[in-house]
Amino acid sequence: MNTKFEYRNKSLILIGLIMFVFSMLFLRLVDIQLINGSIFEKLAFDNKTYRIVSPEERGVFLDRYSQPLVFNKPIYYKVNSGDSLYSDETRISHDEALQIMAQDSDLIRMKLERMYLYPKSLSQVLGYVGSVSTQDLINDSGLGISDKIGKFGLEKEYQNYLRGNKGSKVYEINAMGEKQHLIAEEAGTSGMNVPTTIDPQLSQVALRAMGDNKGSVLILDASNSEVLTLISTPSFDSSILSETFKSDEEERKRAIAIQDSFSNPQNLFFNRAVSGLYPPGSIFKLITALAGLEGKKIDESTSVLDEGILKVGDYSYSNWYFTQFGGKEGEISLIEAISRSNDIYFYKVAEWVGPTKLKEMASLFSLGEQTGIQLQAEASGLIPDPEWKQRVLAERWFLGNTYHMGIGQGDILVSPIQIAQMIQSIANNGNLCNATLVKNSFQEGGLFVKNRCREVGVMEENINLLLRGMINACSPNGTAFPFFNHNAQILEELNESIDVLKPKELIDAGMVACKTGTSEFGETDWRNYRKTHAWFASIIGTKTLIKDALEDRSKSVKLVQGESELVVVDTENSGEIEQDNEKSDDIKVNRDLWLDGVEKYGFPEEIVIVVFIESDEINPYKEGSKDAAPVAKEIFDWIHNGDPVK
């Protein structure tokens, strides 16, 4: 009886086990066929196929004359076997690749490298591309582990627009990993080209003019704040971040150069034009003057007595002219105060206006605010007032703080791009435009704001008083001596008094309007001196300059053609840009290429040039007229006459 019962139980257990096993098999079959069928089908397909991906054709940046600033250079590799998909690769030259492809194109693989035509002067603007990081792959599932993406500058800012789509070929393979036949082929698509406002030749000239100085140069179209030049020195060489070499030794040297660039104590990747914050010094006196004029605290005839030092109780505030040379200006009015950059005058105007109104006027010109330029890490800056000082420093605001603010000292911090934008608005009759590196014609998916300009809200007659003072600053008895001879010559040619013509007429005729600045910072030394940065801001009418330059070129071409019938002027290839433009220390600038672009596409009728030079260990006392103005003068001379004959 017990035996029969035990046998019955064992049968039930066995049947249960069989049913369980078949149930699991059935569920697994459902999982394989129905739930995850497509996945396993793909795995099976991948086991017998191989996909060769063609490189992504990244969009390029174009300059303001529609010429490329970068290109995608093909790099060729030879494989040992055209049939094997896992063959070793050997890098070869372009000529070698052409010879091999003529016999068997399957032996050649190609990759693309980003090459920069102006790797030094435009490195802070264009930036560079680099390999994707783990975080990049997490953030964007569409990226591959071998992809290159924008890491800095416009390359990063416009990554999604520049990025193209890879092409591919799918082959059926055998168990040995050898191609059998082509199953499918998909063509890739190129990324979008981005039209910039950059003038690469002017940028090269600006870089050369800066020499070993640490600082920045900005050149803007005065009518709309399109940026023709934005350089920061010292800077990095973008070519070492993109260009690879065939030999291991060359690659080793490149790796060392990259490491040295990132670890350089001079912060080569720090963009002083947009990320650097500095006291503006005497450039800010233009804001103080406008605050006084708009607030009816002063007018053109308001004068102040300069006796060298302004004493308030136990404190003394001196004028730079007295400090350096022991000189006194005596009775001085607004226009002369701007041209002479008189501290005493602007101490008093600041006192009459007060810090709150000074800040309001600075804010109208967007000082202390980001411009919104298409670059990373733009700094905001600071325009202080009594409320800020009490809240942040827990200190009262004193009259001395107002004096310092009136001449651009104290706690004020601005970036060079903010100053350039402010000068642009003064040149544009109080119409301020946000700086841009990309042309309005480029639409960011419909999000790009075309209307970048707004009225500041100051009276035109007050702007004209500033311009007249700035023209005088670049004329004899002003502060910007590098331009004295030029302005004096233009005035002599006009055969009119400087007070007869309107400021805009004088600028259109070729006179330069400018303001120098020498800003103190840091602690005083044993002589009670502070280190100083140098500023120079200018407004330049270019119609006469460009007209003369084009006429001179036309005359020289005719002269050359007339001297010899053997001389051939090659205009077909005038648009070619040599890749080695900046490979040597002595930058060669293609002036004919520049004039070709100017003649075809035009040039701004007025430009703003702002030069900023930092204090350094060799010369801690930089001055606007002595150090910054000559940089602008060299750029000005090149526009007019080109490089001097050596």
What does the pLDDT average to over 155-176? 80
Q: What is the pLDDT of residue 558?
A: 57
What does the pLDDT average to over 428-436? 95
Looking at 166-318, which runs of residues are DSSP E strands? 168-173, 179-186, 194-195, 215-221, 227-233, 303-306, 309-312, 315-318
Among 279-283, 325-329, 561-565, the range of highest mean pLDDT: 279-283
What does the pLDDT average to over 150-168? 89
User: What is the distance between the alpha carbons of residues 294 and 287, in angstroms, rounded to a whole number?
Assistant: 10
User: What is the distance between the alpha carbons of residues 305 and 321, in angstroms, rounded to a whole number?
Assistant: 14
The answer on pLDDT for 379 being more than 70 is yes
What does the pLDDT average to over 98-113? 79
Amino acid at 267: N
User: What is the distance between the alpha carbons of residues 324 and 633, in angstroms, rounded to a whole number?
Assistant: 24
Averaged pLDDT of the chain: 86
Domains of the chain plus CATH, in order, are: 48-196+234-263 (3.90.1310.10), 273-542+608-641 (3.40.710.10), 543-603 (no CATH)
Q: What are phi and psi of 330, to 5 degrees?
A: 70, -150
> CA angle, corner 469, sides to 466 and 475, nearest 5?
145
The answer on pLDDT for 188 being more than 80 is no
Amino acid at 303: S
| Whole-number percent of the chain with pLDDT over 70 | 85
Q: DSSP code of 437?
A: S
Which one has a higher pLDDT value, 21 or 128? Answer: 128
**What are the Cα distances from residue 179, in Å, to 49, 136, 167?**
9, 33, 18
Which one has a higher pLDDT value, 435 or 107? Answer: 435
Q: What is the pLDDT of residue 248?
A: 77
The answer on pLDDT for 91 being more than 70 is yes
- Which positions ≥6 away from 472 have C-beta within 8 Å? 335, 336, 338, 339, 478, 498
**What are the Cα distances from residue 184, in Å, to 54, 87, 140, 181, 218?**
13, 21, 26, 9, 51
**What are the Cα distances from residue 219, in Å, to 37, 74, 423, 603, 612?**
62, 34, 11, 12, 12
DSSP-assigned letters across all residues of 451-517: --EEE----HHHHHHHHHHHHHHTSTTSS-GGGHHHHHHHHHHHTS-TTTS-HHHHHHTTPEEEEEE
Q: pLDDT category, 77, cuts 50, 70, 90?
A: confident
Q: pLDDT category, 43, cuts 50, 70, 90?
A: very low
The answer on pLDDT for 134 being more than 50 is yes
The answer on pLDDT for 52 being more than 80 is no
Question: Could you tell me whether strands 215-221 and 606-613 are parallel, antiparallel, or unpaired per DSSP bridges?
Answer: antiparallel
Which one has a higher pLDDT value, 219 or 498? Answer: 219
Q: What is the pLDDT of residue 564?
A: 41
Tell me: the pLDDT tens digits for 498-529?
778 899 999 999 999 999 999 999 887 777 78
Q: What is the pLDDT of residue 221?
A: 97
User: What is the distance between the alpha carbons of residues 206 and 273, in angstroms, rounded to a whole number?
Assistant: 13
Max Cα–Cα distance, the chain, nearest Å: 138
The answer on pLDDT for 584 being more than 50 is no
Q: What is the pLDDT of residue 572?
A: 34
DSSP-assigned letters across all residues of 80-93: S-SSBTT--EEEE-
Q: What is the pLDDT of residue 562?
A: 47
Q: What is the pLDDT of residue 566?
A: 34
Q: What are phi and psi of 38, to 5 degrees?
A: -65, -35
Which one has a higher pLDDT value, 63 or 103? Answer: 63
Which one has a higher pLDDT value, 334 or 13? Answer: 334
Q: What is the pLDDT of residue 480?
A: 96
Q: What is the pLDDT of residue 444?
A: 54
Nearest to 288 by CA among 585, 280, 571: 280
Tell me: the pLDDT tens digits for 330-353?
999 999 999 999 999 999 999 999
Q: What is the pLDDT of residue 465?
A: 97
The answer on pLDDT for 595 being more than 50 is yes
Q: pLDDT category, 153, cuts 50, 70, 90?
A: very high
Q: pLDDT category, 569, cuts 50, 70, 90?
A: very low
Q: What is the pLDDT of residue 529?
A: 80
* Residue positions counted in the chain: 646
Q: What is the pLDDT of residue 574?
A: 36
Q: H or E segment at 613?
A: strand 606-613
Q: What is the pLDDT of residue 499?
A: 79
Do residues 306 and 328 lie in contact, with contact meaning Cβ atoms separated by under 8 Å? Answer: yes
Amino acid at 261: S
What tokens does 421 get?
A: 């934008």
The answer on pLDDT for 219 being more than 70 is yes
